[in-house]
């Protein structure tokens, strides 16, 4: 589904991603872990098409199409979804009409007519229930005055509505209490299928207790330095990122750079 090859990117001439390679197949869940500043969120931003990132090398293919060549909205219509680390508040845009617009745009791209109001409402109720998202929140302005947890739940509600192929969850667990984390994870688990894939970016192993990944990758200094199964996450949790930095230093000191 997604193929990232030797991806290099920078922001304001500062190199952030330094050669990422990653293959994601339908049905898989990949976790990307790493210390702060390692480039996790940057990878999410580059995949979603945030404009201030410059890709300097490498390619990203989604079902064989050049993802990096597409505008952010085209990526979304092709099935990429980014659950934002910091969802934006947009007063004056109603949550539900925003979703209706987004869904219509995506459907139009696929040659489908917009959903009838009744169908849309039905779908929306069903998906709200999935993430226990309060109907009163759905009718308010987009994220305006929402708590941190409500905003994150709204991201997953949107994900459920738009049914993307590839979902990238950027630190969705940060700022969530245990109950909210459980609800969000349960929602994601219900949405998992053999057709879609998830990239879960997180600093903590905790989320991976609930959403069990097929693969765990460790990002450090703009590169994936380790890949493994869910046990790798446990090891990291136990030993911390310093252990990783030290072990990297031992194995390949030449790769280390002073930033």
Partner 1 sequence: MNNVGTALYEEMIRTFDMSGASHTKETASLAHLRKEAFRTFKEKGFPTIKDEDWRFTNMAPYLKDAYQLQVPVKVEATALEALLDSTAVEEWDAWKLVLVNGQIDYSLSDLPEAGLLKISSLKEVLGSEEVSKFIGLHQNTDANRLAALNTALFEDGLFIEVAKGQKAEKPLHIVHLYTADVPSFVQPRHLILLGRLSEFTFMESTACVGGEAPVLVNGVLECNLEEGANLTHYVLQRGRRGERMVQHTQVYQARDSRYDNVTISLPETDLIRNQLQVALDGSGSECHLYGLYLPSAGQLIDNHTVVDHLQPHCESNELYKGVLQNSAKAVFNGKIFVRQIAQKTNAFQQNNNLLLGDKALVHSKPQLEIFADDVKCSHGSTIGQFNPESLFYLRARGIGEALAKELLVQAFGADITDRVSSDAVSRHLKKHLLERPVTQLQDVPHIEHI
Interface with partner 1 (CB under 8 A) = 48-51, 71-73, 75-77, 81-82, 84, 87-88, 90-93, 98-99, 101-103, 105-106, 109, 141, 158, 162
CB of 150 to partner 1, least distance (A): 16
CB of 145 to partner 1, least distance (A): 15
Closest to partner 1 by CB, 60 vs 106, is 106
Helices (H) and strands (E) in the chain, counts: 9, 12
Could you give the residue ranges of the DSSP H alpha helices within the chain?
A: 40-48, 72-77, 95-109, 117-130, 135-138, 148-162, 178-191, 206-210, 230-251
Distance (Å) of CA 77 to CA 27, 72, 98, 182, 191: 19, 9, 15, 29, 18
Closest CA to 224 of 248, 257, 251, 206: 248
CB of 218 to partner 1, least distance (A): 26
Q: Which two tokens stand for residue 15?
A: 């190199």
Closest to partner 1 by CB, 93 vs 135, is 93
CB of 245 to partner 1, least distance (A): 32
Closest CA to 103 of 118, 113, 88, 92: 113
Closest to partner 1 by CB, 6 vs 101, is 101
Closest to partner 1 by CB, 3 vs 141, is 141
Task: Please give the sequence-ordered ranges of beta strands (E in DSSP) within 88-214, or none if there are none.
Answer: 90-94, 141-142, 166-170, 197-201
Q: Which two tokens stand for residue 206?
A: 């905790």
Closest to partner 1 by CB, 102 vs 212, is 102
CB of 170 to partner 1, least distance (A): 11
Closest to partner 1 by CB, 164 vs 213, is 164
d(CA 117, CA 119): 6
CB of 136 to partner 1, least distance (A): 17
Contacts of 236 (CB under 8 A, 6+ apart): 33, 205, 218, 243, 244
């Amino acid at each position: 589904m997604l193929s990232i090859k030797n991806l290099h990117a920078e922001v304001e001439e500062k190199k952030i991603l330094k050669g990422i390679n990653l293959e994601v197949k339908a049905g898989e869940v990949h976790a990307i872990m790493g210390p702060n500043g390692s480039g996790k969120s940057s990878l999410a931003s580059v995949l979603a098409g945030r404009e201030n990132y410059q890709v300097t090398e490498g390619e990203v293919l989604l079902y064989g199409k050049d993802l990096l060549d597409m505008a952010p909205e085209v990526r979304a219509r092709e099935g990429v979804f980014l659950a934002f680390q910091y969802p934006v508040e947009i007063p004056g845009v109603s949550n539900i009409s925003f979703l209706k617009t987004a869904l219509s745009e995506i459907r139009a791209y696929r040659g489908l007519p917009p959903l009838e109001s009744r169908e849309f409402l039905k779908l929306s109720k069903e998906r709200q229930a999935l993430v226990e998202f309060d109907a009163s929140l759905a009718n308010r302005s987009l994220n305006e005055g929402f708590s941190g947890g409500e905003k994150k739940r709204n991201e997953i509600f949107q994900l459920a509505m738009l049914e993307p192929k590839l979902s990238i969850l950027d630190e969705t667990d940060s700022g969530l209490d245990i109950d909210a984390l459980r609800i969000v994870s349960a929602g994601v688990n219900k949405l998992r299928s053999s057709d879609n894939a998830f990239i879960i970016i997180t600093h903590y192993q905790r989320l991976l207790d609930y959403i069990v990944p097929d693969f765990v990758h460790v990002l450090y200094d703009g590169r994936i330095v380790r890949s493994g199964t869910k046990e790798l996450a446990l090891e990291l949790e136990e030993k911390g990122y310093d252990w990783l930095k030290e072990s990297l230093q031992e194995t390949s000191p030449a790769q280390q750079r002073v930033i």
